[in-house]
C-alpha cells in the first residue's frame, strides 16, 4: 500500500492536502483489498486443488510473507464463495467511488486493473507470459496515485515509474513466488515461468528484472518536481542493493526455493523503503 504513496510523493515533491491523503489512503486500501480478494474468487477452484497438496500445507510454516496469515481463506472454507464475492465487490465499490472523486482517470485505471487481474488468474494453465500481465497490474496502482494528485503529470515520469514497478513485480514478487510453488504448480499443470523454463532461466530473469528496477529507482528522483539531494540517491541505492540485488544474486547463484523466498520477502519491503526515504527527505 506504500507504493501509491511513494509514487505521488516522489512526483509532487511535497505533501498533498490532508483531505487528499485521507481519501487516497482509503481508496488505496479498498482497491488493493478488492483486487487481492478478486484473485481468490477467480482462483477458487484452483486453490481448492492446491489445498490437497502437502507442499501447500507445509508452506504455511515457512518464513514466507505470502503465508504470514491465512492463505486462500475462500478455498479453505473459512468464508463462503458468496461472502468472498460480496467482500470483493464491496471494497471494489468503495475504491471506485474514491478513485472517481480523486480523478476519473484513477477510476478507469482501477477498472482496467481488475479486468487484467482476472485475466491473469484465468491464464494459470495457459501461458507463463501471464507474469507480464501481473507486472502491469502492480504498476497501475502507482500510476493512478500520480493522477490523483496531478491531472497532467510528466509522461517521462509515468513511463519510468511504470517500468520500475513492472520489473520489480516480475522479478521481486511473481517469479520468486512461483519458484517456491514449483512442485505443486507442476502437479497442477500450471504454466508459470519456472515450470516452463526452469530455475536457471527463472533466476536469471529475476536478476535481470531487479537490476532494471534498481536502475530506474535511481533515475526516478531526477524526474520529480522537487530537487532531491544526494543523500536520497545514496539511501535509495543502499535499499536497492540490500533488498533487491543481494537476494537476487544469491538466488541466481544457488537457485534454491529458500533463496527464491528470500527474494520475495526482501523485495516486498522495497516500496516501503522508498516511501519512508521520500517521506523523510520531505520532512527534513
Domain that holds residue 68: 2-283
In SS3 terms, 216-281 reads as: HHHHHHHHCCCCCCHHHHHHHHHHHHHHHHHHHHHHHHHCCHHHHHHHHHHHHCHHHHHHHHHHHH
Over range 166-187, report the average pLDDT: 94
More confident residue, 264 or 54: 264
CATH of the domain at 105: 1.10.357.140
The total of other beta-carbon atoms located within 10 Å of residue 239's CB is 19
Phi, psi of 78 (to 5 degrees): -70, -30
> Is the pTM higher than 0.95?
no
**Count: domains in the chain:** 1
pLDDT band of residue 55 (cuts 50, 70, 90) is: low
- Check residue 79 and give its pLDDT: 83
- Check residue 53 and give its pLDDT: 66
Angle between helices 18-42 and 130-149 (to 10 degrees): 160
| Cell, residue 244 | 533487491
- pLDDT tens-digit profile of 90-136? 999 999 999 999 999 999 999 999 999 999 999 999 999 999 999 99
CA dihedral 36, 271, 157, 225 (to 10 degrees): 130
pLDDT band of residue 196 (cuts 50, 70, 90) is: very high
User: Do the beta carbons of residue 267 and residue 244 sit within 8 Å?
Assistant: yes
The total of other beta-carbon atoms located within 10 Å of residue 261's CB is 23
| Residue environment code for 93-128, b if the CB has 16+ CB neighbours within 10 A, otherwise e | ebbbebbeebbebbbebbeebbebbbebbebbeeeb
- Check residue 64 and give its pLDDT: 60
- Check residue 61 and give its pLDDT: 47
Question: Residue 185, SS3?
Answer: helix
Distance of CA 184 to the CA centre of its chain: 22
User: Do the beta carbons of residue 4 and residue 28 sit within 8 Å?
Assistant: yes
Amino acid at each position: 500500500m506504500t507504493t501509491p504513496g511513494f509514487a505521488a510523493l516522489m512526483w509532487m515533491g511535497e505533501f498533498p492536502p490532508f483531505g487528499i491523503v485521507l481519501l487516497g489512503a482509503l481508496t488505496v486500501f479498498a482497491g488493493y483489498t478488492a483486487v487481492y480478494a478478486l484473485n481468490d474468487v477467480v482462483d477458487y477452484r484452483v486453490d481448492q486443488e492446491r489445498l490437497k497438496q502437502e507442499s501447500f500445507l507445509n508452506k504455511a510454516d515457512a518464513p514466507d510473507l505470502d503465508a504470514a496469515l491465512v492463505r486462500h481463506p475462500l478455498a479453505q472454507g473459512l468464508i463462503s464463495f458468496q461472502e468472498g464475492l460480496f467482500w470483493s465487490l464491496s471494497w471494489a465499490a468503495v475504491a471506485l467511488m474514491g478513485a472517481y472523486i480523486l480523478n476519473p482517470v484513477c477510476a478507469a485505471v482501477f477498472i482496467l486493473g481488475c479486468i487484467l487481474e482476472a485475466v491473469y488468474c484465468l491464464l494459470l494453465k495457459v501461458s507463463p507470459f501471464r507474469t507480464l500481465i501481473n507486472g502491469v497490474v502492480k504498476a497501475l496502482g502507482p500510476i493512478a496515485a500520480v493522477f490523483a494528485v496531478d491531472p497532467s503529470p510528466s509522461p517521462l515520469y509515468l513511463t519510468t515509474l511504470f517500468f520500475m514497478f513492472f520489473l520489480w513485480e516480475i522479478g521481486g514478487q511473481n517469479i520468486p513466488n512461483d519458484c517456491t510453488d514449483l512442485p505443486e504448480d507442476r502437479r497442477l499443470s500450471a504454466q508459470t515461468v519456472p515450470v516452463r523454463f526452469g530455475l536457471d532461466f527463472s533466476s536469471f530473469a529475476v536478476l535481470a528484472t531487479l537490476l532494471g528496477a534498481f536502475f530506474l529507482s535511481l533515475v526516478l528522483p531526477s524526474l520529480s518536481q522537487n530537487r532531491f539531494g544526494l543523500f536520497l540517491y545514496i539511501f535509495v541505492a543502499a535499499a536497492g542493493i540490500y533488498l533487491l540485488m543481494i537476494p537476487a544474486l544469491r538466488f541466481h547463484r544457488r537457485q534454491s526455493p529458500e533463496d527464491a523466498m528470500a527474494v520475495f520477502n526482501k523485495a516486498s519491503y522495497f516500496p516501503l523503503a522508498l516511501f519512508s526515504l521520500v517521506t523523510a527527505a520531505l520532512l527534513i
